[in-house]
């Protein structure tokens, strides 16, 4: 029988994979993909809580929709910034783009 | 029984695709496997009887965001000749990730959840619309979200536009 714990553990595994990727990769596009993975993990948690704790209210699903809206805005602006950086430096290696590094 | 089988298949697909996104050397294949991961998450929503959210996941993530990411992968080709290397933070990142995973699994498995005995709604589209757009619902956040999307679209256009000053300098 699949319970709430299964979904939460799956979401935790997905979140930690995304976190590892976002911390270690050097390609900026891959880092953005890993952030999308983490946002999806959060969405799974919200929908699982909504379906198991308050099945008639759908509160978690409403929050998941807002997370999707913010994720769409974030990926559009993030990819625009990556394209602008690529046009300027001809490089998307995060280790070489250290203009703002103190 | 069917729900359990669907959950395990989707879980294996999601975790495998996510690991491939992180560890594949080819960035384009990583983007394709990210789409597979999004489809698996949509399947997880269906096992949670969130049908509208599964459709939105397919439309927004599989349809729109993946196209944006693949476009970015193709337009930045040649930016990284060596594929998908990792930086010097690999060992600290493994420690942080494993520690966070352990803490999360410990917290999830040891706490007691107040599981409701009610059946979840099977047709969620109309109740979601009532929640989002009704008078005492989430109408203000919906409007703020629309404004945020408009600002993001304008920002993306402004950021990616060719700088006219540079063009004149080149001439």
Examine the pLDDT at A21 and tell me if it is beyond 70.
yes
**Residue pointed to by tokens 């103190």:** A102
- Interface with B, mutate which of A54, A79, A81 (most B CBs under 10 A): A79
Q: What is the pLDDT of residue B171?
A: 45
- Which pLDDT score is estimated for B87? 77
- What ipTM goes with this model? 0.92
Q: Please write the tens of the pLDDT for every residue from A40-83.
A: 999 999 999 999 998 888 889 999 999 999 999 999 999 999 99
> What residues of A are in contact with residue B93 (Cβ under 8 Å)?
19-20, 23-24
- Confidence check: pLDDT of A3 > 90: no
The percent of residues above 70 in pLDDT, for chain B, comes to: 91
Q: Is B14 on the interface with A (CB under 8 A)?
A: yes
At B80, is the pLDDT very low, low, confident or very high (cuts 50, 70, 90)? low
The radius of gyration of chain B's CA atoms, rounded to the nearest angstrom, is 21
Residue A95's pLDDT band, with cuts at 50, 70 and 90, is confident
pLDDT of amino acid B69: 92
Q: Where are the domains of chain A?
A: 4-89
Spans of all domains in chain B? 1-79, 123-171
Burial, B86: exposed, middle or buried (Cβ in 10 Å; 0-12, 13-18, 19+)?
middle
DSSP A30: H
Q: Is residue B170's pLDDT more than 80?
A: no
pTM across the whole model: 0.90
Topology given in CATH for the domain delimited by A4-89 = Helix Hairpins (1.10.287)
Task: Give yes or no for residue B138 having a pLDDT over 70.
Answer: yes
Architecture of domain B1-79: Up-down Bundle (1.20)
Cross-chain residue pair B156–A76, CB shorter than 8 Å: yes
């Amino acid at each position: 029988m699949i319970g709430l714990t299964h979904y939460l553990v799956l979401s935790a595994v997905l979140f930690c994979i995304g976190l590892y990727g976002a911390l270690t990769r050097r390609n900026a596009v891959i880092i953005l993909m890993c952030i999308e993975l983490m946002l999806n993990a959060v969405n799974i948690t919200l929908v699982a809580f909504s379906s198991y704790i308050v099945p008639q209210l759908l509160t978690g699903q409403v929050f998941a929709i807002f997370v999707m809206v913010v994720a769409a805005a974030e990926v559009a602006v993030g990819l625009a910034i990556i394209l602008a950086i690529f046009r300027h430096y001809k490089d998307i290696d995060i280790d070489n783009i250290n203009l703002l590094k103190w | 029984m069917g729900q359990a089988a669907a959950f395990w298949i989707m879980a294996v697909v999601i975790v495998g695709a996510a690991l491939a996104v992180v560890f594949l050397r080819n960035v384009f294949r990583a983007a394709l496997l990210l789409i597979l991961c999004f489809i698996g998450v949509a399947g997880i929503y269906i096992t949670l009887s969130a049908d509208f959210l599964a459709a939105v996941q397919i439309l927004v993530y599989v349809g729109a965001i993946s196209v944006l990411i693949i476009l970015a992968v193709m337009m930045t080709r040649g930016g990284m000749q060596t594929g998908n290397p990792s930086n010097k933070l690999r060992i600290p990142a493994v420690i942080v990730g494993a520690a966070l995973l352990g803490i999360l699994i410990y917290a999830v498995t040891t706490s007691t959840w107040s599981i409701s005995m009610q059946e979840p709604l099977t047709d969620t589209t109309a109740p979601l619309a009532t929640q989002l757009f009704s008078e005492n619902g989430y109408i203000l956040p919906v409007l703020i979200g629309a404004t945020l999307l408009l600002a993001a679209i304008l920002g993306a256009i402004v950021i990616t536009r060719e700088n006219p000053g540079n063009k004149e300098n080149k001439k």
